[in-house]
Amino acid sequence: MKALSAKGFPGALGRNSVVSAILHKRELIVLLLLVVIVIYLQIASEGLFLRPQNLIIMADRKAPEAFVTIGITYLLITKQFDLSVASVMAFSGSATAWMMVNEFSISAAIMGGLFVGCLVGALNGFLVTKLGIASFIATLGTMYIARSGAQIITQGSPIGDLPESFIEMGKLKILGLPWYFLLLIVAIITMHILLKKMGGMNKLFYIGTNDRASSMVGIGTVKLTWIMFIVSGFIAAIAGIILTAKSYSASPIAFDKMEMRYIAACVIGGASISGGQGSIVGSLLGFLLIVLIGNGMTLMGISPYWENVIFGTILAIAAIADAYSVRKRGG
């Protein structure tokens, strides 16, 4: 059937133009879904949901994690995968904590944590671009390595007793909002626009769509892909360090198995595993959707065991939409 669907019926695209137009505005669908969920939660929770306390708590808890969707989205667009992010978060957080309790200055410790993130990212990039290992496998390997790294550093138990000024950093608020929440908003908007407008970033779409054709028009596919892995590791490190400050300690098992959640959030937001598609805002909205569902269920007293059912269903729907749009594209 592949031959038939690829050749298609003349006019088939035209007939479905409304459907495909909506599919191309995935951000819009997710946003609409979010609004519906918010209204529903607001009514069902009898006005509890939209209270400022609840919103600030959510933003405070989840904003640091939301950063990693940026790096993951870049990689998905490039038709790559990064399973190591959650482990890198724990690894970088642990490294920073370890350096601080071992008499390094706070700034040196933070630099150290960021360096660890970049290092894992660079390793991922090397394995994928230079050795030609599929990114799923390469980053699955570094996922285990980084997780072990965190466990070795911490000797298996959380590192506490962090310097007071480091803890204060996690509590810093600007205009009543956590600073990293504001940074997240700024980063999302900037990265979203840069991805679309910046020449260098735009090349990611070319690489993800057709790697070979990209190198034939002089796009440095190896270099860019490698950089994106480093960016992903770097961003995961930022998230890990912020979360360490927020939770007063670095735990080697923090965010275990969360990488799939982050990737799923991006896919829900329109990034495609088949490459060449996705946006930063879309991925953030996908992340928000997951967070809201979790929070809403807690508010409404639904058993958390049901959370994954709903989450899995949404992911399946997103995947079907993705498959549908890929087929329409003739891919």
Partner 1 sequence: MEKNALLSIRNISKRFGGTQALNDVSFDIEKGEIHALLGENGAGKSTLIKIISGVVAKDSGEIFLDGEPLRVKNPQQARTEGINVVYQELSLVPGLSIAENICASNERMNTFKIMDLNDLGEDVMSILGRLKVDPKTPVKALGIGAQQMVEIAGAICRNCRLLILDEPTASLTDEEIEELYKIMAMLKEHGTTIIYISHKLSEVFDIADRATVLKDGKFVTTANVKDLDERTLVRLMTGRDLTDMFPPKAKNIGPVVLDVKDYSGPGFENISFQLHEGEILGLAGLAGAGRTELCTALFGVQKPYGGAIRLFDKEYKPRKVKDAMRAGIGYLPEDRKQAGAFMQMSIKENSVAATIDDITKCGIIDNKLAKENTLSMIQKLNTKVGSINDRILSLSGGNQQKIILSRWLLANPKILIADEPTRGIDVGAKFEIYQILRSLADSGMAIILISSELPEIIGMSDRILTVYKGSVSMIIDSHDPALEEKIGAGIMGLSFDKSGGEVVQ
Q: Which two tokens stand for residue 272?
A: 């495609």
Site for partner 1 in 259-288 (CB under 8 A): 276
Torsion of CA 168, 169, 174, 178, to 10 degrees: -100
Q: Which one, 223 or 257, has the nearer CB to partner 1?
A: 223
Q: Judged by CB under 8 A, which of 42, 54, 210, 247 binds partner 1?
A: 210
**Residue 160 binds partner 1, judged by CB under 8 A:** no
**Residue 200 binds partner 1, judged by CB under 8 A:** yes
Q: Judged by CB under 8 A, which of 4, 18, 131, 175 binds partner 1?
A: 4
Q: Which one, 9 or 305, has the nearer CB to partner 1?
A: 9
Stretch that binds partner 1, among 35-43, 65-73, 196-204, 311-319 (CB under 8 A): 196-204
**Residue 21 binds partner 1, judged by CB under 8 A:** no
**Residue 205 binds partner 1, judged by CB under 8 A:** yes
Q: Judged by CB under 8 A, which of 202, 253, 302, 319 binds partner 1?
A: 202
Stretch that binds partner 1, among 40-48, 87-95, 148-156, 207-215 (CB under 8 A): 207-215
**Residue 13 binds partner 1, judged by CB under 8 A:** yes
Stretch that binds partner 1, among 96-104, 125-133, 200-208, 279-287 (CB under 8 A): 200-208
**Residue 329 binds partner 1, judged by CB under 8 A:** yes
Give me the least distance between CB of 195 and partner 1, in Å please. 11
Q: Total residues at the site for partner 1 (CB under 8 A)?
A: 34
Give me the least distance between CB of 213 and partner 1, in Å please. 5
**Residue 330 binds partner 1, judged by CB under 8 A:** yes
**Residue 226 binds partner 1, judged by CB under 8 A:** no
CA distance 224 to 315: 29
What are the backbone dihedrals phi and psi of residue 64, each rounded to the nearest 5 degrees, phi first? -60, -40
Residues 6 or more apart whose CB falls under 8 angstroms from that of 98 comprise 153, 154, 159, 250
Contact predicate 316/267, CB 8 Å: no
Nearest CA among 50, 246, 236, 71 for reference residue 150: 236
Q: Judged by CB under 8 A, which of 39, 57, 198, 260 binds partner 1?
A: 198
Residues 6 or more apart whose CB falls under 8 angstroms from that of 84 comprise 120, 124, 139, 142, 143, 146, 233, 236, 259
Q: Which two tokens stand for residue 215?
A: 């190198």
Residues 6 or more apart whose CB falls under 8 angstroms from that of 127 comprise 133, 138, 141, 142
How many other CB atoms sit within 10 Å of the CB of residue 218? 8
Type of residue numbered 107: S
Beta bridge partners of 250: 159
**Residue 209 binds partner 1, judged by CB under 8 A:** yes
- The angle subtended at Cα 239 by Cα 236 and Cα 240, nearest 5°, is 85
**Residue 132 binds partner 1, judged by CB under 8 A:** no
Contact predicate 241/149, CB 8 Å: no
Binding site for partner 1 (CB under 8 A): 1-4, 6-7, 9-11, 13-14, 197-200, 202-203, 205-206, 209-210, 212-220, 276, 329-331
